Structure 1
Amino acid sequence: MNNLNIENVHQQVLQWLENVVIGLNLCPFAAKPNRNKQIQIFISEANDEDVLLEEIYHQLKKLDSTPVKELETTLVVTPHLFEDFADYNQYLDLVDALLFQMGYQGTYQVASFHPDYCFHGTQPDDAENLTNRSPYPIFHLIREESMEKVLKHYPDPEGIPERNIERVESLTDEEIARLFPFLK
């Protein structure tokens, strides 16, 4: 994963966001902030996990200091780290510890995406894993207050995961190849 062009990485993530996350309606809350240019895609060039944690810290502080109408959410993309999903999954504990240490529990949460995402209890080839598969490892920093506002007006938010699984399970092999060109 060396020699990655940041603009290419950004374009791949944006394409995934628009075609998969929004296009398949996996996150019914993403379309509006994307339309309003309130989603930041931060491409980390870190090759070191400590440097990445510091970058995530700074992205959280940026969310703190930027009005929601300007910046709703941030995708921290890590093209040089966490090729192995198990390492990525373990690192999530450090990110959660950072949120706790900063006093941000209840303020921010992290959603996780990875090219090899595999839910506990599933097999790597199970279609439901596609709901969290992305071109690169991504830490999605979400404002909990914004999520709560949207959920109040969304019918049956508890059913979103099941609907997402049904949606990706209904994809043809051709659709999967087109929407997830980064899959091995």
Structure 2
Amino acid sequence: MSTTDLNDDAVIESTRRWLERAVIGLNLCPFAKSVYVKEQVRYVVSHATTPEALLEQLMDELQLLSDTSAEKIDTTLLIHPGVLTEFLDFNDFLDVADAALEDMELEGELQVASFHPEFQFADTDQNDISNYTNRAPYPILHLLREDSIARAVEAFPDAADIFEKNIETMEKLGHEGWDKLDVGPAR
């Protein structure tokens, strides 16, 4: 299916399924469930087809998140199925996203995390199961509030161990288990 065949509802539904089954279901992010249950996650499907258009939308969403109370929107998932579909291009764009935060004087208030169907940690094989901790059905820029992260880390005593626990979870699950979750991307 090409990105032109996708509608926003289908993209959001796939993203929600991934969030529910993988991120929350496998407890890859112990902080996600709270904001999800409170319906404080904003889902935005970008129709951008160029990095420049995505940057403009990213900056709009960063400003909106900054201007809105956490009770209404705690975090935003900017899903962009039509641009930065190659992981290395996406990875390079993260520097642009960080520069936008700095230019907008939002460093220390907001941050951008990343998920991608081809996510790959440095020095890993492309199909290494550890990469799947950050794999999503579509490229996603996750906009987070620094205050919310700080509160969540305070409430979760072993926050520094999350990465290692996630790798262990993925190794136990394996590729077959991941495929059974039906959250994409498939191998």
Q: Do the two structures share a fold, i.e. TM-score over 0.5? A: yes
Over residues 80-130 of structure 1, what are the superposed CA-to-partner deviations in whole Å (9 max), with x where a residue is unaligned?
Answer: 011210000001110010001111111111111000000011111111101
Could you say which residue in structure 1 is the equivalent of 2:152?
150
Could you say which residue in structure 2 is the equivalent of 1:41?
43
Cα distance change, pair 170–148 in 1 and its aligned pair in 2 (3 A): same
Could you say which residue in structure 1 is the equivalent of 2:185?
182
Could you say which residue in structure 2 is the equivalent of 1:101?
103
Letter in 1 for 2:83: L
Give the SS at the match of 1:2: helix
Aligned residues: 184
Could you say which residue in structure 1 is the equivalent of 2:113?
111
Contiguous gaps of at least 5 residues in structure 2: none
Mapping for residues 1-184 of structure 1, pairs under 5 Å: 1-179=3-181, 180-184=183-187
Letter in 2 for 1:115: P
Give the SS at the match of 1:25: coil
TM-score relative to the length of structure 1: 0.97
Letter in 2 for 1:121: D
Deviation at 1:183, TM superposition (A): 1.9
Q: Distance in 2 between matches of 1:141 and 1:182?
A: 21
Give the SS at the match of 1:122: coil
Over residues 40-83 of structure 1, what are the superposed CA-to-partner deviations in whole Å (9 max), with x where a residue is unaligned?
Answer: 11100111211111111111111112111111000000000112
Letter in 2 for 1:86: L
Give the SS at the match of 2:58: helix
TM-score relative to the length of structure 2: 0.95
Contiguous gaps of at least 5 residues in structure 1: none
